[in-house]
Amino acid sequence: MPIGGFVVTVDPDKVDRVKEMLLAISGAELHGQDEKGNLVLVLDAETSEEMELMTKEIRELPDVLALGLVYFHAEDEVERIEKGEYRPSRSFGRKPV
């Protein structure tokens, strides 16, 4: 169950709006902000696939300029790969356009 620490950079005039949208995402926690439009975000996801989709969603939010990862922990998932319980593969179909 991966956990990531991120700095989200937002247009400083639009911080409040973006914060609302971020907090609406399940598994997202905000831990602080500065006056330059940087937010401290922690994502807690069931799988790294889920986390990837969360980061994609965040990157595409209006007024989010960049999502920078600084810390990522995924020991549980590595164990699952090693035990053969989880095989990184592409067992999925068409991506929604």
Partner 1 sequence: MGLTRRDFLKRTAAAAAASYIGLRLPFDAPEEAMAADVDSWHIGSCRLCGVGCRVRLGVKDGRAVAIKGVPEARTSMGYLCMKGMLFYKLMGHPERLTTPLYRESKKDEFREISWEEALDIAADRFAKAVKEHGNDSVAYYGSGQALTEETYLFQKVMRAGLQTNNVEGNPRLCMASAVGGYLTSFGADEPIGSYADIEKATCFFIIGSNMAEAHPVIFRRVMRRKLDNRNSVTVINADPRISPTSRIADIHLMFEPGTDLAMLNAMAYVILDEGLADEKFIENYATFRIGKDKKEVTFEDYKEFLADYTPEKAAQICKGNITPEKIRKVARLFARSSATMSMWTMGINQRKRGVWANNMIHNLHILTGQLCKPGADSFSLTGQPNACGGVREGGGLCHILPGHRLVKKEKLRNQVEEAWGVPLGRIPPKPGYHTMAMFSAINQGKIKAIWINCTSPAQSLPNCDLYRKGMAREDCFMVVTDIFPTKTTELANLILPTAFHFEKTGVYGCTERRSQITRKAVDAPGKAMPEVWIVREWALKLAQKLQDPVIEKSVEPFKGLEPDYALPKAIWDEYTQKLTKGRDNDLRGATYEVLEKMADGVQWPAPTEEFALKGGTYKKFVRGIDPLADVHAKDDKPLQFYGPAHPDKKLWVWLRPHKGPEEMPDVQYPFYLSTGRIVDHWHTMSMTGRITELLRANPYAYVEINPSDAKALGIKPGDMVLVESRRGRNILPAKVYEGPVKGMVFVYWHDMDEDRMINRVTKDAYDPGSKEPEFKICACRIEKVSGPKPLKPYIVRM
How far is C-alpha 66 from the chain's CA centre?
A: 12
Q: How far apart are CA 29 and CA 86, in angstroms?
A: 27
Shortest spacing between CB 24 and partner 1, in angstroms: 19
* Total residues in contact with partner 1, by rule CB under 8 A: 52
Q: How far apart are CA 87 and CA 91, in angstroms?
A: 10
Shortest spacing between CB 22 and partner 1, in angstroms: 13
Mask of contacts with partner 1, 34-53, x by CB under 8 A? x-xxx-xxx-x---xx-xxx
Binder of partner 1 out of 55, 58, 61, 85 (CB under 8 A): 55
Q: How far apart are CA 18 and CA 66, in angstroms?
A: 12
